[in-house]
Structure 1
Amino acid sequence: MKKITVGIIGAGRIGKLHVDNLLSIPEIQIKSVSDVVVNHLQEWASSKGISVLTDNYKDLLTDPEIDAVFICSPTNTHAQIIKEAARAKKHIFCEKPVSFSVEETIEALKVVEEEGVKLQVGFNRRFDPNFKKVRELVQQGEVGQPHILKITSRDPEPPSVEYVRSSGGLFMDMMIHDFDMARYVMNSEVVEVSARGAVLVDPAIGEAGDVDTAIVTLTFANGALGVIDNSRQAVYGYDQRVEVFGAKGAATADNCRPTTVEVSTAEGVSKDKPLYFFLERYTQAYIEEVTQFAKALLENQEVICCGNDGLQAERIAKAAKESFVTGRPVKIEHIEQAEDKVVLN
């Protein structure tokens, strides 16, 4: 059996999640984990059968036995590590976003292309079976010509202010998932963005320079319109919904709940709240995305979510932030002309 040897860069919550999911794939062997602080990881690594712990990610890049790395470190490190990993001929799985800068992302993707390695970006929602089904129905023409896309994405509680300060802001940190989902479901590029935001959940988020509530409208190249709403706090749980409305009908993916039981009495009708957080809601999607990355390496196939997908989502996020600041719609061509003379397929 062919084996892929993997190294993990960054052993926070998402890094550990990927370790658990990769361990379920027989063709994957996890050899090394790097983190800036490794002393507290000894027992965890031993329990996972990981033989090498290091505080220097470069140790993974110089190890000839490692075929691929998972970049789960802070976003401000992603682009540099991608370039170094590509030059070391390692295949790459990188958490979103690729960077906070369109220019840095383009530079990193050029190195990936030059070195001929594979890069998958961690937009896990593409691998959710419900959202994937909506995309398939749209592609099959079941709803006819798409007219309107609606995405709702609301967290159950706001993150810490410390996280907000380093996150890149709601549009780049949170809504970027929805920007990718918009392109994925509609199979059409976004050509214009208009954004509005407010601080309605936690004043400290505003003091940190961000918003906690936002609505973005999108215009697609195929003429369809989209609307995305985000909130940092939905008191009833993790609210994740997608709808595509078209000439022949609509396709809707509703929230996932612990059960589908609905109780009807004289007092009213009730059902379970949505699953509480992303680790519960997207359990299967996280497993599927690393499974598909492993398959792409083992069978030398194209990855499902490539570097260009990461780049386009960042362009939309940057346009949304510009629209929010200026109060005007922003055309994506404006962003491209100003910052990218090269088309990356």
Structure 2
Amino acid sequence: MIDIALFGAGRIGKIHAENLVRQAGVRLKYVVDMHVPSAQALAQIYGAKVTDVEGALGDPSVGAVVIASSTNTHADLIISAANAGKAVFCEKPVDLTVERSRESAAAVARNGVTCMIGFQRRFDPTFAALKARIERGEIGDPEMLIITSRDPGAPPVDYIKSSGGIFKDMLIHDLDVFRWILGDEAQTLHATGSCLTDPAVQDAGDIDSTAVTIRTERGLLCQINTSRRAAYGYDQRFEVLGSKGMLQAGNVRPTEVTGWSANAVSVDVPEPFFLERYRQAYAAEMAHFVEALTTGTPVRTTIDDGVKALELAQLATLSWQRKGETLQVMSEGGA
């Protein structure tokens, strides 16, 4: 039996709790949240206890922690859990600063613990199937990746102010997908952006629409377009052009019913939000984490992946701030 402590009883914490308790040989022992009523409500559902950080990490029976709390707590919790010898699953990003993220990775390496970062898109059935077909050589050598990533609407302004900006909050997933799908590292990066959907986002010091172009070390190309507004739903898709063809990964819809009439052929719009779109992916990534703990096999999304994605997000932020200057990616991932 693996006893697990969950940090964060909010929206994503509830999803992880539900997926955790579905795994054989797992017990959710503790829920930790600064808002105690939220912790109590979630703990009651699954027969867990409410405690604080020290109580959870100080219990020798706890073998792993799941970090779903606010971003500003991630690095401290990763380092503390690693020092306590606990395996770690942590939501992205590792931190809002590259330096603190690297310190977290160093603590994980120093203590030799498992640490998985929650890049759930790698576990999406459609995206994973596309990756597998690339690896089988179906389209030959990949040459170009085009990613479209659009939210149905911007988050609250108070959230935006503390999010680290759109590149670290939203595009960090797309930057991870870029590395995963092309299997290469960035050599140069160019980012530009505008505030097109809500002036309040600009007042908060951020943008809501971006375009990023990356050239890899092998000369492959990636274009990422993102927006905080899509009136038709949560738009998540990409295509890979190769030497022998192309593969496309489309959106997930509530149903696959197609309506035919004299005037039009219609299908459902995409799922309305990321919780619905990546329902299967969240379940699959948690099952993978538990399997890794049980069998001792490596996790597929490591803390090093988290650091590298954040390095690219930081570089994209800098490129945008410099009015779209193309920046060279150094060997350590910095600018």
Match of 2:319 among 309, 323, 328: 323
Residue 49 of structure 1 and its aligned partner are, at CA, apart by 1.4
Contact 1:143 1:251 in 2 (8 A): yes
Residue 191 of structure 1 and its aligned partner are, at CA, apart by 1.6
Q: In 2, Cα distance between the equivalents of 1:303 and 1:169?
A: 28
Secondary structure of 2:330's counterpart equals helix
Q: In 2, Cα distance between the equivalents of 1:13 and 1:7?
A: 16
Please give the residue correspondences for 1:144-159 in structure 2 after superposition, counting only pairs within 5 Å: 144-159=140-155
Classify 1:210/1:335 alpha carbon distance in 2 versus 1 (closer, same or farther; 3 Å). Answer: farther
Match of 2:170 among 158, 169, 174: 174
Please give the residue correspondences for 1:108-187 in structure 2 after superposition, counting only pairs within 5 Å: 108-187=104-183
Residue 337 of structure 1 and its aligned partner are, at CA, apart by 6.0
Contact 1:138 1:186 in 2 (8 A): no
Residue 42 of structure 1 and its aligned partner are, at CA, apart by 2.6
Residue 300 of structure 2 corresponds to: 304
Unaligned runs of 5+ in 1: 339-345
Residue 39 of structure 1 and its aligned partner are, at CA, apart by 2.6
Q: Which amino acid aligns with 1:168?
A: G
Classify 1:337/1:25 alpha carbon distance in 2 versus 1 (closer, same or farther; 3 Å). Answer: closer
Secondary structure of 1:67's counterpart equals strand
Q: Render the CA deviation track for 1:48-97: whole Å, top value 9, x for unaligned.
A: 211x102x212111011100001111111111111111010000001100
Q: Which amino acid aligns with 2:16?
A: H
Classify 1:285/1:310 alpha carbon distance in 2 versus 1 (closer, same or farther; 3 Å). Answer: same
Matched, 1:241 2:237: yes
Q: In 2, Cα distance between the equivalents of 1:113 and 1:135?
A: 28
Q: How many residues align?
A: 334
Residue 2 of structure 2 corresponds to: 4
Q: Render the CA deviation track for 1:281-336: whole Å, top value 9, x for unaligned.
A: 10110000010000000001101100110011011101111110112111111764
Q: In 1, Cα distance between the equivalents of 2:215 and 2:25?
A: 42
Q: Which amino acid aligns with 1:333?
A: M
Secondary structure of 2:246's counterpart equals strand
Secondary structure of 1:311's counterpart equals helix
Residue 29 of structure 2 corresponds to: 31
Contact 1:135 1:186 in 2 (8 A): no
Matched, 1:230 2:254: no
Q: Which amino acid aligns with 2:216?
A: F
Residue 41 of structure 1 and its aligned partner are, at CA, apart by 3.7
Q: Render the CA deviation track for 1:93-127: whole Å, top value 9, x for unaligned.
A: 01100011111111111111010100000000000
Q: Which amino acid aligns with 2:44?
A: S
Residue 332 of structure 1 corresponds to: 329
Q: In 2, Cα distance between the equivalents of 1:133 and 1:328?
A: 35
- After superposition, the CA RMSD in angstroms is 1.2
Please give the residue correspondences for 1:199-210 in structure 2 after superposition, counting only pairs within 5 Å: 199-210=195-206
Classify 1:334/1:211 alpha carbon distance in 2 versus 1 (closer, same or farther; 3 Å). Answer: farther
Contact 2:122 2:128 in 1 (8 A): yes
Contact 2:88 2:113 in 1 (8 A): yes
Runs in 1 of length 4+ with deviation above 6 angstroms? none
Identity of aligned residues (%): 43
Q: Render the CA deviation track for 1:136-177: whole Å, top value 9, x for unaligned.
A: 122222111211101111011111000100111100000100
Q: In 2, Cα distance between the equivalents of 1:84 and 1:242?
A: 37
Q: In 2, Cα distance between the equivalents of 1:39 and 1:267?
A: 53
Secondary structure of 1:227's counterpart equals strand
Q: In 2, Cα distance between the equivalents of 1:76 and 1:64?
A: 26
Contact 1:319 1:335 in 2 (8 A): no
Match of 2:85 among 70, 78, 89: 89
